[in-house]
Every structure is written in structure tokens, then in C-alpha cells.
Amino acid sequence: MSQPLPAKGASNPMRTSKIKIQGLTIPYLIGSDNERYWPMRPICEAMGLNWHSQAAKLHPPRYSPREHDVALPGQPLMKRALCLPQSEFEFWLKSLSSRKVSPVVRRHLDQLRTHFFGGALTVEEQSAVTAPAAAPAVLNRILNWRAQQADPANRPELLKQIANQFRGANGFGIAETQDHQLRTAVASLSSIIYQHDRSKTPSQMPISLRVDAIIKSIVETRTQRMHLPDADFAALLCGIDLEQQHRQACSMQQTL
């Protein structure tokens, strides 16, 4: 569900101006601090973009839109129009995919990009520029996260076991992983760590830590689920029951 836009700026006096680029007229607002704000609906409609699909994207955290009244000559007043500041408007222009729009929209998009950026690369093009392989660094960061949870004396053996399992499952080592393999490699490494911990850690963990782990697992997966799986619920109840039995046994031993 989208968050309501902040009302800040809705009643602030703004001067209206416009630019013309090869027959394309783009309005913008100028604040008292000379900051430019771009009303997105008339801009999208002038370019031929679907306004509603774009409006669904223009929300925090990527964007911080403001609402301003926009008065264009010969047109009704647009109340509380969604506007982006200059830097975010430029980011929006760069982030649009030329491959996913019609030829007419693509032509307008190219015109605007040339006007604002000259020959600068779009976000889409920048991501395709060759860069040093990042995959091993990402995978090693996941490994280091897991190692920090282990006893220092056990870390070398733990890392060796997980690395060997990764090589056996994928046919290549962590240091040999290519960037185009990263998504699959992250999923593989995460599954290996999960299976490793599930098979070995519970028997070594104090019962209270096991209950904490169950609660943590349930809480961290609640963002997209309204239904609590039966297995999670049963594990939680059994864990708490065992924890209480363990505490009672310890209390009885102390009284003897």
C-alpha cells in the first residue's frame, strides 16, 4: 500500500515556467529558493507515458515527492500535483527503460535525456558497464556473517565445510563465481548454511537459544504472510514447553 504524500509545499507560492524541446513542452515550478520542481503527471502525459503506472513508482524510499498547485496558461488549476525536485526528476529520466516503451515515448525520452544529460549514460546503460567481479565479495560477506556467530576456534573448520559444500553443489568455488551467476550462488550458499545450521546447531544450542531462534524465524518472515504455518506454531509451542521443563529441572536440582 502506498504511503500518503507529505503535504509540505502544497500551499507554498511557486512560479510556473516551461521548456520546449523539439515540440515537446515540459512545465516546471520554481520555488522561493530557486529549486526546480517537476510536475510529473503533465510531463508523463506529454511524453505519452501511462501516468498511473509511473505514479505507483514515485514513492519513498527512492523518491521524496511533494505536492504543489500547478497553474498552466489556458488550463485548469492542478491542485496538489505530485512533483519531484530536480535531482530526483533527473534520476527518474535515467531510470526509465527505453526497451519497455513505445517508439513515440522513446523518441521523447531521448530528447529529454539529450537536453538534460547530453551524452551521459542512463542508469540502465551504467549497470552494463564492465566492472570488477563483485560476486566473490558478496558471497564472502555472507560467509563472514555466519562465521561471526560461531566460536572463534570453530570458524576455520566451519568455513571450510561450507565452502566445500558450495563447490560440490555448484561445480565451482566461491572465488570463481562470476557476476552473472551471483543470484543462483547466493540462493545456493544460503541454503547450504541453513541446512548446515539446521542439522548441527540445534543439538548444541541451549534450549532458550533454540526458542529465541524459532521466534526470530517467525518474526522475520511475517512481512508478506498473514497465516502462521502449522509447523512454525508447533515448533514454537514445543520449544517453550521444553524451555519451561528445563527451567523446572534446573530449579529442582538447585533445591536438592
Q: In the 3-class helix/strand/coil scheme, how is the chain assigned residue by residue?
A: CCCCCCCCCCCCCCEEEEEEECCEEEEEEECCCCCEEEEHHHHHHHHCCCHHHHHCCCCCCCCCCEEEEECCCCCCCEEEEEEEEHHHHHHHHHHCCHHHCCHHHHHHHHHHHHHHHCCCCCHHHHCCCCCCCCHHHHHHHHHHHHHHCCCHHHHHHHHHHHHHHHHHHHCCCHHHCCHHHHHHHHHHHHHHHHHHHHHHHHHHCCHHHHHHHHHHHHHHCCCCCCCCCHHHHHHHHHHHHHHHHHHHHHHHHHHC
> Per-residue b/e over 31-41, b at no fewer than 16 CB within 10 Å?
beeeebbbbbb
pLDDT, position 218: 66
Helix 155-170, helix 135-148: angle, nearest 10: 140
> Is 117:91 a contact under the CB 8 Å cutoff?
no
pLDDT at 162: 92
- Residue 121: per-residue pLDDT: 44
- Using CA atoms, how far apart are residues 14 and 28, in angstroms rounded to an integer? 10
pLDDT score of 234: 61
pLDDT tens digits, one per residue of 176-214: 888 778 888 888 888 888 787 766 544 455 666 666 776
Asked whether the beta carbons of 174 and 136 are under 8 A apart, the reply is yes
Tens digit of pLDDT per residue, the chain (256 long)? 444 444 444 445 678 888 888 778 888 998 887 889 999 998 999 899 999 999 998 988 888 888 888 887 777 888 888 999 999 999 998 888 888 888 889 888 888 888 888 754 444 444 443 344 578 888 888 888 888 888 888 888 989 999 999 999 888 889 888 877 888 888 888 888 878 776 654 445 566 666 677 677 767 665 555 566 666 666 666 667 667 777 777 777 777 6
Q: Based on C-alpha coordinates, what's the Rg of the chain? A: 28
Specify the pLDDT at position 250: 75
What does the domain layout of the chain look like in residue ranges? 15-126, 130-204, 206-256
Q: Going by DSSP bridges, is the β-strand pair 36-39/78-85 parallel, antiparallel, or unpaired?
A: antiparallel
- Contact yes or no for 91/123 (Cβ under 8 A): yes
* Amino acid letter for position 165: Q
The pLDDT of residue 126 is: 45
Which residue(s) pair with 83 in the sheet?
39, 66
- pLDDT at res. 41: 92
**Rounded-to-integer distance, Cα 215 and Cα 236, Å:** 7
Scored b (16 or more CB within 10 A) or e, 198-210 reads eeeeeeeeebeeb
Q: 106 forms bridges with which residues in the sheet?
A: none
**Contact between residue 82 and residue 39 where contact means Cβ atoms under 8 Å apart:** yes
